[in-house]
């Protein structure tokens, strides 16, 4: 146990491992899996509030759960946006009625969420959002477009950053609204087909969609404050779990390099060793910053490290296979749908790692301004 976990932590590990062994499997229906997790109380371990159908856990126990989950072969989560982004935001900024309405269904795995932030022309520059929400009696009427909306095609609700005061500019006049997705004719979701052939990201079009006035979190005009709070909730727990998956991918690449004989190339062998060493360094950096709240640059440093590391791993995954990496697992001339194998998927999808979640350029700007104290980047007039 390289973390030196306590006896209670190890009991928690044994319980988590036993439950996952009995219930997890890669082919489970994702929505049914969320309900199974919720029924057992495994959703919401990191919330600072209990009593919504969730159990709570210490920070080290959250690490234990995340790592055991990554090792279990369980399917990717559909409910992580509601659990890890919306719920902590509601705990911090929601009123009692909003908590009573929305936290229990998230904890039960019954309602899935997506995040309505990025727009065409307002991706990394989030303050430039143009989606408008106009108050009409007890509701807001929402018009505009969001893009790169993860899992919108599965979501029941979307938290939307929209402009409720047309006279204000930039971060002023924004509100954080909770919007039901089941509004035929008012909300349209268009999946975006990626290089991998999959469509986890979506465009979302709002054409008079409605949100109730009591579903504005933090109050009208306070959307920027709430949105920035949400972006700061993710810390080292998710990063450590992510690294379990990275280690498995690296092991597969090394195995392929040995089997193909590519490992005999000293340059390529050195790159593999470097990947292993950097992954260990990322692990210890995540442990060092685990639960930290005083280092404004820690999330940006972590994002720069893992995104570029993972992108280089994707390049290695196809390089160790040589020309064979250009061949699909099925005949691409007749395949429908288009299919990639694990290495090709890793290579293609990891091209986006340095863009989504805040591009490398944005992360470096954050470090320069908030950590190094360099002059702010000039902003054009709006």
Collapse the DSSP code of 256 into the 3-class scheme (helix H, G, I; strand E, B; otherwise coil) and give the result: helix
* Active-site annotation holds for 234: yes
Cα 72 → chain centroid: 19
Tokens for 104, please give them: 């229990």
Active site residue: 49, 234, 278, 369, which one?
234
Handedness of CA 103, 152, 32, 85 (dihedral sign): negative
Q: With left for phi above 0 and alpha for psi between -120 and 50, is residue 276 left, alpha or beta?
A: alpha
Closest CA to 243 of 72, 71, 358: 71
Contacts of 216 (CB under 8 A, 6+ apart): 140, 175, 176, 177, 178
How far apart CA 131 and CA 288 sit, in angstroms, is 39
How far apart CA 152 and CA 183 sit, in angstroms, is 13
Closest CA to 233 of 130, 38, 81, 26: 81
Q: Which residues, listed in sequence order, are joined to residue 162 by a DSSP beta bridge? A: 175
* 154 neighbors 204 (Cβ within 8 angstroms): no
Q: H/E element holding 140?
A: strand 139-146
86 phi, psi to nearest 5 deg: -65, -50
Q: Which residues, listed in sequence order, are joined to residue 114 by a DSSP beta bridge? A: 158
Catalytic site positions? 234
């Amino acid at each position: 146990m390289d973390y030196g976990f306590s006896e209670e932590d190890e009991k928690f590990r044994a319980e988590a491992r036993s439950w996952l062994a009995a219930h997890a499997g890669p082919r489970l229906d994702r929505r049914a899996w969320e309900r199974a997790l919720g029924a057992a109380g495994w959703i919401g371990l990191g919330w600072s509030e209990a009593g919504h159908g969730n159990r709570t856990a210490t920070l080290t126990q959250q690490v234990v759960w995340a790592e055991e989950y990554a090792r279990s072969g369980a399917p990717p989560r559909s409910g992580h946006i509601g659990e890890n982004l919306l719920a902590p935001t509601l705990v911090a900024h929601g009123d009692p009625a909003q908590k009573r309405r929305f936290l229990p269904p998230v904890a039960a795995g019954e309602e899935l969420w997506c995040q309505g932030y990025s727009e065409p022309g307002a991706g990394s520059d989030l303050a430039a959002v143009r989606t408008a929400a106009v108050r009409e009696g007890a509701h807001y009427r929402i018009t505009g477009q969001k893009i790169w909306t993860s899992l919108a095609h599965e979501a029941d609700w979307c938290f939307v950053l929209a402009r409720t005061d047309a006279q204000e500019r930039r971060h002023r006049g924004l509100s954080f609204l909770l919007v039901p997705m089941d509004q035929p004719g008012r909300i349209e979701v268009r999946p975006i087909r990626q290089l991998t052939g999959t469509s986890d990201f979506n465009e979302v079009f709002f054409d008079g969609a409605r949100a109730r006035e009591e579903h504005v979190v933090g109050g009208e005009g306070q959307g920027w404050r709430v949105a920035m709070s949400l972006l700061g909730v993710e810390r080292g727990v998710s990063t450590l779990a992510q690294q379990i998956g990275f280690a498995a991918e690296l092991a597969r690449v090394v195995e392929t390099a040995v089997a193909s004989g590519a490992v005999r190339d000293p340059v390529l062998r050195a790159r593999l060793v470097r990947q292993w060493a950097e992954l260990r360094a990322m692990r210890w950096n995540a442990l060092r910053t685990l639960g930290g709240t005083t280092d404004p640059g820690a999330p940006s440093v972590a994002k720069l490290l893992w995104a570029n590391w993972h992108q280089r791993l994707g390049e290695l995954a196809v390089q160790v296979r040589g020309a064979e990496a250009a061949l699909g697992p099925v005949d691409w001339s007749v395949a429908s749908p288009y299919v990639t194998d694990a290495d090709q998927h890793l290579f293609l999808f990891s091209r986006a790692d340095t863009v989504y979640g805040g591009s490398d350029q944005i992360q470096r700007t954050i470090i320069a301004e908030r950590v190094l104290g360099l002059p702010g980047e000039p902003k054009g007039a709006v």
